[in-house]
Amino acid sequence: MTAPWCDKTGHEIREAVVRGDVTARVVTEAHLARIHALDGKIDAYTQIWEEYALAMADRVDEKRRSGATLGILAGVPISLKELMCTKQGETTCASKMLAGYRSPFDGTMVQRLAAADAVFLGKVNMDEFAMGSSTENSAIKTTKNPWDLGCVPGGSSGGSAAAVAADLCSMSMGSDTGGSIRQPAALCGCVGIKPTYGRVSRFGLVAFASSLDQIGPLTKDVRDAALCLNAICGRDPMDATSVDLAVPDFTAALTGNVKGLRIGLPKEYFTDALGAEVREKVMAAIEVLRGLGAETVEVSLPHCDYAIAAYYIICTAEASANLARFDGVRYGFRHPDAKDMRGMYVMSKSAGFGPEVRRRILLGTYVLSSGYYDAYYLKAQKVRRLIKQDFDEAFEKCDVVLGPTTPSPAFRFGEKTADPLEMYLSDIYTISVNLATLPGLSLPCGLSSSGLPIGMQLIAKPFAEETLLRTAHAYEQNRGFDMGKPPIA
């Protein structure tokens, strides 16, 4: 089907709305029509906010008619991952535990996007409580990869990536604890950025692992990622871990100039574990950046092989503490047959959480339990320090680290569900970035022989998102091919 406005980027839509070439209502209606026509195949959306979206669009159009200055995301249709607290609709985390939950407040990121005149189309699917790498752990539905409906979209922000790739929204807000923005972005051919820990307020983001979680956008191009960061970054009194640091105009970093930029290539990222096709496309991307005047230097991240083990100790430990709040008292599922307090806790948690969430709560409880704390949790925190130090040393030699986002393109449904450990290993390149609190960005760098997107990852020093965006944008503008669109209707 033809999709007027749906194939446009957020900045193109915003410019058209500001110029008066189109109204926000027309853009919103076009997206809603496409969602109704196509999402039955993709299953990205969990909630479609038809009336709410049109009312938001009408407010933007009214604002323009009144002559008021329009926000930096005026009329841009956005979808939100199911774990972003919104007064509108439900906030379920794709879990039976929170079915029907209506947040009494909007999260800070949601408030900031609304203040920038964005339009919310609805919410999109995810792995339950953001635990997973394929969105197969959703209790709501199975989201398909628009490039191949037999393949997963990645996860946990799989609904976000699929919705952006299928032009069912202009951009989507995701969260990233170990790769949950970058991995699905890579598997669906989108741009996805996980900002530095502390860059974006997490107030209103349902917590998974609090020392790792960060919010960020999945977009159609690098400029949209920069634009979105302009709207959402910055200190928030409601989140003590949000950093009081000046927020630059990230779009000003998109100069196209990477002359003299030092790109570090970690030798540990280009081993036999990396698929041949992914290697080939990432190497070709490096050549494009070299052609633009960037220099490459080999760096080493000697502890990266330990990242997954450290990560799954830390994230499950934090998850077991965070998810203890779902006790059936103040919100969430309460088992109707519970007769006493202990029974209410046990029966509600056991029936409300899905298998992967239960598994992680058990692992986290185990590594924090008496007698094991030092051997697991404390050890993992020491290894986390070593991983961070690896990056510190690498950044003495380079400005940005470049490598693959994932070892292979999108995998098929069921391929990794039998063995949880194998699913965990698919996040090998993204996890250490969260442990080291760094900003990371994935962007498309080609298609596999079977037509699946391949992503490359850029990593920078803390709060050096501008370096990431500058590098990514220069590549995107000069890569010399068009990624095209997924072969859906």
Q: Convert residues 302-341 into a mask of x (bound to another protein by CB under 8 A) and - (unbound).
A: -x--x-xxx-xx------x------xxxxxxxx---xxxx
Rounded (to 5) percent helix, strand, coil in the chain? 40, 15, 45
Among the listed residues 353, 415, 326, 347, the one whose alpha carbon sits nearest the alpha carbon of residue 139: 353
Closest CB 165 distance from another protein, rounded Å: 30
Which is nearer to another protein, 115 or 375 (by Cβ)?
375
Please give the DSSP secondary-structure letter assigned to residue 151: B
Does 201 participate in catalysis according to the annotation? Answer: no
Give the span between the Cα atoms of 183 and 456, in whole angstroms.
Answer: 10
Does 180 participate in catalysis according to the annotation? Answer: yes
Residues 341-360 binding another protein (CB under 8 A) are 341-347, 349-350, 353, 355, 358-359
Q: Convert residues 67-106 into a mask of x (bound to another protein by CB under 8 A) and - (unbound).
A: ----------------------------------xx-xx-
Applying CB under 8 A, what is the total number of residues that bind another protein?
68
Which is nearer to another protein, 248 or 420 (by Cβ)?
420
Which is nearer to another protein, 32 or 209 (by Cβ)?
209
Q: Convert residues 33-72 into a mask of x (bound to another protein by CB under 8 A) and - (unbound).
A: ----------------------------------------
Closest CB 158 distance from another protein, rounded Å: 22
Which is nearer to another protein, 72 or 361 (by Cβ)?
361
Containing 176, the helix (H) or strand (E) segment is strand 171-176
Q: Convert residues 375-394 into a mask of x (bound to another protein by CB under 8 A) and - (unbound).
A: xx-xxxxxxxxx-x------
Q: Tokens 């807000």 — which residue? A: 173
Closest CB 464 distance from another protein, rounded Å: 15
CB count, 10 Å around CB of 216? 31
Which is nearer to another protein, 22 or 425 (by Cβ)?
425
Which is nearer to another protein, 248 or 302 (by Cβ)?
302
CA torsion, ordered 233, 179, 469, 207, to nearest 10 deg? 0
Task: Report long-range pairs for 281-287 (Cβ below 8 Å, ≥24 apart).
Answer: 281/445, 281/446, 281/448, 281/454, 281/456, 282/402, 282/403, 282/404, 282/445, 282/454, 282/456, 284/445, 284/446, 285/402, 285/445, 285/446, 285/456, 285/475, 285/479, 286/402
Q: Are strands 262-266 and 191-194 parallel, antiparallel or unpaired?
A: unpaired
Closest CB 56 distance from another protein, rounded Å: 22
Which is nearer to another protein, 52 or 101 (by Cβ)?
101
Give the span between the Cα atoms of 41 and 143, in whole angstroms.
Answer: 9
Give the span between the Cα atoms of 374 and 81, in whole angstroms.
Answer: 35
By the 8 A CB rule, do 8 and 170 touch? Answer: yes
Residues 185-244 binding another protein (CB under 8 A) are 197-198, 211-212, 237, 240-241, 243
Candidates 8, 81, 194, 349; catalytic one: 81
By the 8 A CB rule, do 132 and 94 touch? Answer: no
The number of CA neighbours under 13 Å toward the Cβ of 311 is 30
By the 8 A CB rule, do 307 and 432 touch? Answer: yes
By the 8 A CB rule, do 409 and 277 touch? Answer: yes
Q: Convert residues 102-131 into a mask of x (bound to another protein by CB under 8 A) and - (unbound).
A: x-xx--------------------------
Q: Tokens 């949000």 — which residue? A: 242
Closest CB 312 distance from another protein, rounded Å: 7
By the 8 A CB rule, do 77 and 31 touch? Answer: yes
For 61-93, the DSSP string reads HHHHHTTPPPPTTTT-EEEEETTB--SSS---T
Candidates 134, 156, 172, 201; catalytic one: 156
Which is nearer to another protein, 71 or 462 (by Cβ)?
462
Closest CB 440 distance from another protein, rounded Å: 14
Member of 6, 109, 367, 456 binding another protein (CB under 8 A) = 367
β partners of residue 218:
172, 192
Residues 133-192 binding another protein (CB under 8 A) are none
Question: Per CB under 8 A, does 424 bind another protein?
Answer: yes
Does 81 participate in catalysis according to the annotation? Answer: yes
Give the span between the Cα atoms of 383 and 389, in whole angstroms.
Answer: 10
Which is nearer to another protein, 119 or 212 (by Cβ)?
212
β partners of residue 145:
148
Closest CB 248 distance from another protein, rounded Å: 19
Candidates 180, 242, 426, 432; catalytic one: 180
Q: Which residues are catalytic?
A: 81, 156, 180
Judged by the rule CB under 8 A, the positions of this chain that interact with another protein are 101-102, 104-105, 197-198, 211-212, 237, 240-241, 243, 303, 306, 308-310, 312-313, 320, 327-334, 338-347, 349-350, 353, 355, 358-359, 361-363, 365-367, 369, 375-376, 378-386, 388, 419-421, 424, 437
